[in-house]
Amino acid sequence: MSDLHTTVSTDSTVSIYGDARPELEQTMRMLFEEIEKIRSEMATELGMDPIEHLLGRIKSEDSMREKCRRKGLPETTESALEKIHDAIGLRVVCAFIDDVYTIRDRLLALPHIRLVKEKDYIRHAKPNGYRSFHMIILVDEKIFAEIQLRTISMDTWAALVHHLKYKKEIGANTALISEELKRCADELASTDSSMQTLRDMIRELR
Amino acid sequence: MKILIAEDTADLNRVVTAMLEKFGYDVDSVYDGEAALEQIDRSGYDAVILDIMMPKMDGITALKNMRSRGINIPVLMLTAKAEIDDRVAGLDAGADDYLPKPFAMKELLARVNAMTRRKTKYSGSVVSYADFTLNTETLELSAVNSVRLSMKESELLSLLIQHSGKELPTDFILEHVWRTDDSADSNTVYLYVRYLQRKLEGVGAAAQITGKIGGAYMLTAK
């Protein structure tokens, strides 16, 4: 999901998605609509919009071909749609941590959506401090999509680390910098938790 | 171990410095309270010996200034006479110990040793309970996952760990964690308990804090 801006393929003669592109776009639109429905239901219940922002993209031709090569797969439509599961990618960024799980639960409760795989990097943060909830779903038993859900803080951390373009192998102080980036992630996670507690208390007082 | 001594009587300053150096301490000496503060800002110390009566700025004022800025280096006050008011004022201002003049060098050394020993033992300590650990120096709480706590959260959790399995009344917690903060009340304690409950859950710790607002709280393993 690093390539949120779709780029035009250099090999524009044949799309790796074959003639499935309209179907991918249709599925992505449908997912957007479902998330918007969940969003407005929750907004009524909570008295606040649970989603800070919502992004989606069809993986670019170049990225998809590159991913096929990296995984040792032939650059075919079958690889792009069946073997690789993030041709469609959505990112839902929430204000509060509990809403991440509520949106996950409500999406998976929809009859035409089936969970294929999920990774909870919120409860089990990556060693570098990365936090996010990732899931691969299958829509109408046919089209795969990856949905990433996270809080503003988690999104901020990931964005800032991305800006640093920090690679472990470069330069001195590697251990110190890695530890400090992890500490920043853990402090943000702590703040997320405190803000959720405050929201809970405010709602109890109403 | 690095010690700062602020004492305006030149002879005494020199003798104490020489004696501490002889016993392996690295010593800087100054002759007034203002110089003591400047030196503390410039360099790190493991303990400070402060005379009360000094020119420019007295020892109590210098100590209050340090403490108000969160500088928690152990301080031994030297009181001119065995005046009870002086000793009380020094301890109230945040001194860890006091020594009335005249004193025996042996006793001064023993008190400095005791003060620096306490600090070494205290710093960098990792406490654990059930399957989680709390590092009171880095404020890291970790089990399956980790987060960084605030100072007050860490102090409260340390207290709960020290007395795990026992019910701690709100007043007891207020006295130990919010000593000097008059604005803290049972709501504050409750909020911090709630923070910790969620953070323990967030890191996947097999422990819980139970209790109701205004009542007693207890840490137990799940």
Chain B residue numbers touching A130 (CB-CB < 8 A): none
Residue A197 touches chain B, beta carbons under 8 Å: yes
pLDDT at A176 over 50: yes
Hey, are the CB atoms on A190 and B147 less than 8 Å from each other?
Answer: yes
pLDDT greater than 70 at residue A11: no
Longest dimension (CA), chain A: 62
* Cβ–Cβ contact B206 with A under 8 A: no
Q: Do A125 and B146 touch (CB under 8 A)?
A: yes
Q: Would you state the pLDDT for residue B41?
A: 81
pLDDT for A142 beyond 90:
yes
pLDDT-derived band at B117, boundaries 50, 70, 90: confident
Q: Kindly tell me if the per-residue pLDDT of A4 is higher than 70.
A: no
**Report for A111-115, B15-19, B38-42, B118-122: range of highest mean pLDDT:** A111-115
Neighbours of B120 (CB within 10 A): 10
pLDDT at B70 over 80: no
Question: pTM value?
Answer: 0.69
Question: Is the reported ipTM for this assembly greater than 0.95?
Answer: no
SS3 content of chain A, % helix, strand, coil (to 5): 50, 20, 35
**C-alpha distance from residue A58 to each of A74, A78, A139, A157 (Å):** 19, 16, 15, 24
Average pLDDT over residues B205-221: 96
pLDDT at A123: 95
Strand ranges for chain A from DSSP E: 51-58, 88-94, 113-120, 133-139, 143-151
Q: Mean pLDDT for chain B? A: 89
Identity of the residue in A183, A193, A201 whose CB atom sits nearest the CB atom of B202: A193
| pLDDT of residue A9 exceeding 50 | no
pLDDT in tens, B84-102: 787 788 888 889 888 888 8
